[in-house]
A and B are shown apart, each in its own frame.
Chain A
């Protein structure tokens, strides 16, 4: 490729185009103005979404990344602009989301002088980025951006941050772009060890009560088909983690539901009865394992995982298969015998009946009392033919949505898992909508988290993003209140909210909104929201003091999951 003279700022945009970037979320400011100036000439090639806060930009980039599988890109200026990205970067780090964050920095002669809007964002973001780098010379820009995309999107994905000094943005360079294909100190994938695959297959063939747990690794590796083939060949019941949602159709006969603190009854109880756990692309988060010393004690553990640091981190692994889940599952499929585990699967179904009777029926088909979160989720899922992208904020509504929303297609869940970031929902929903323009995006948010980032309604309206927002309003920070009720003797310390008129606020942003308070209005309200051409907010006033069950109490074993208080 011939080289041409461009400025550092132009090189940033040209490099992003080389990486196939079509959408950037950001917010301008002093130290990134040259890059924004260069962007002005590229409005045909790339869409820039001006958010109302940098946190909105970074969560939107996460939502975009989740539904596309590509890196989300965001821009922010130095100092406060950069520090406002931090929560989203931390969220992306713990949930393995590929992001390329580009921040402006004060000119290099001013570094370390406490210059206006200077913050050490490379230092600040070091623990929460997969990689970061400060550019003080324009010549470094193409290579650094190529490296950034390579690192963010390969192996176990994660966020990277490039901090570009203002003088480097003005400097000229001879632009030539080469994609990064390897870094000698970094392994993006492993050759799968056939002996470990054989050892795993032997355990699988011999197991009487095998149980497969799958997480986001399946989605990241595009291994959905392999997962389905594997469980169908072996007849093994499979449960998803929160981030593994949608990797298998909800109605697949071997899909036994969700693991974890508010997961389904069967998957939690049966974990401790299984004689073999096959964990695929998941990391044994404490919300999944409960008390680790009492976790899956009757089982041998096989772990299919791309990050060697995750193997043996929480639970002792009997057979580890290191590498990409798509490849390791394909190899396993070839090595295992066809099998069926009908009576074992039936045990899960018996648990489902218990859970349905004690919890689910009351949640999703209540006959009396106030509206429930569960019925709103069920109706929204049904009315979108289980084909929508589900976005959530964090809290009770998140767990309810994860439990009752149904999925047909992969990459249909956008939720903050590891970090549990309130305020994630609204901005992530707009990013998801931009990443999946032809799909319906339904965002469930609570009244607490909504008020952390509701300014992004302005961004949604300005960009005509037809996001459907269901605000489940219980006038409480519901999850904290639930814990206060169960573990702190109902001492409701600072969890009740005096809320504004959400309809008026939403209308004030120029968005259509409607409020329902009665059961007989709910279905029509959701239908109206879905039929509306454009963004819409439906406020559903729900029972103030409902709890989410089942629940594995903090510090308890998964088999001590409770179905009622």
Chain B
């Protein structure tokens, strides 16, 4: 059965590595629903979070291939239940609509969103949350005509107390030291 999986990859920060990672998805015809790449807590190490909607069997084999890439330190996957995750969305609405009624203000308060910038022409609203939540706010705001909308890829953190990577790097050093 297909479901959402979050693939986390820790890698060296090298040119072309994103391509080397994504071709593994392309080759198996697996769509990437969301992709975030940025510097991790450890200097020089990048962290990818990739969301796919697939069967666990396919994801397990895919992650096996990703883990094998020479410049990948570690790849693993989690279900949504195993992680805490968020996305961020920005909405641009006409400032007139804000003046005409208090509805937008109510929506923003209810959704726990915040207003980032108000100009004569437009107002920018920001909300973090799961996709369903940012989508719900979009639909509400769109009654007033959302001028622009953008949503980020997912960021996620495991429910483990520590970053797995630091433990992993220690283990890896021990392993590399032990192999003659």
Contacts and interface: CB of A to CB of B under 8 A. Distances in A.
B48 to A, nearest CB: 13
A1 interface: no
Contact of A313 (B61, B169, B173): B61
Contact of B67 (A190, A191, A308): A308
Contacts of B175: 187, 190-191
Nearest to B65: A309
A127 interface: yes
Contacts of A122: 16
Contacts of B64: 308-309, 313
Interface in A352-375: none
A383 interface: no
Dominant secondary structure at the B interface: helix
A151 B169 CA distance: 20
B109 interface: no
Interface in A79-134: 122-123, 126-127, 130-131, 134
A125 B16 CA distance: 12
A189 interface: yes
Contact of B176 (A187, A312, A313): A187
A145 to B, nearest CB: 15
Nearest to A160: B70
Contacts of B169: 184
B11 interface: yes
A187 B27 CA distance: 24
B147 interface: no
Contacts of B73: 184-185
B23 interface: yes
A190 B68 CA distance: 13
B180 to A, nearest CB: 9
A188 interface: yes
Interface in A169-194: 182-191
Interface in B16-30: 16, 19-20, 23, 27
Given A123-B19, A307-B68, A182 B61 contact: no
Contacts of B70: 130-131, 151, 183, 185-186
Nearest to A307: B68
A309 B67 contact: yes
Given A184-B73, A185-B11, A191-B179, A126 B61 contact: no
Given A131-B70, A309-B64, A313-B61, A126 B23 contact: yes
Nearest to B23: A127
A131 B73 CA distance: 14
A131 B14 CA distance: 12
Contact of B72 (A134, A151, A185, A190): A185
Given A182-B176, A184-B169, A126 B20 contact: yes
A313 B73 CA distance: 21
Contacts of B71: 131, 185-186
A106 to B, nearest CB: 17
Interface in B32-76: 60-61, 64-65, 67-68, 70-73
Nearest to B74: A185
A186 B179 CA distance: 12
Interface string B136-180: 000000000000000000000000000000000100110110110
Given A123-B16, A309-B64, 9 more contacts: A123-B19, A130-B70, A131-B71, A184-B173, A185-B11, A185-B70, A187-B172, A188-B179, A309-B65
10 contacts: A126-B23, A130-B70, A182-B176, A183-B70, A185-B71, A185-B72, A187-B172, A190-B175, A191-B175, A313-B64
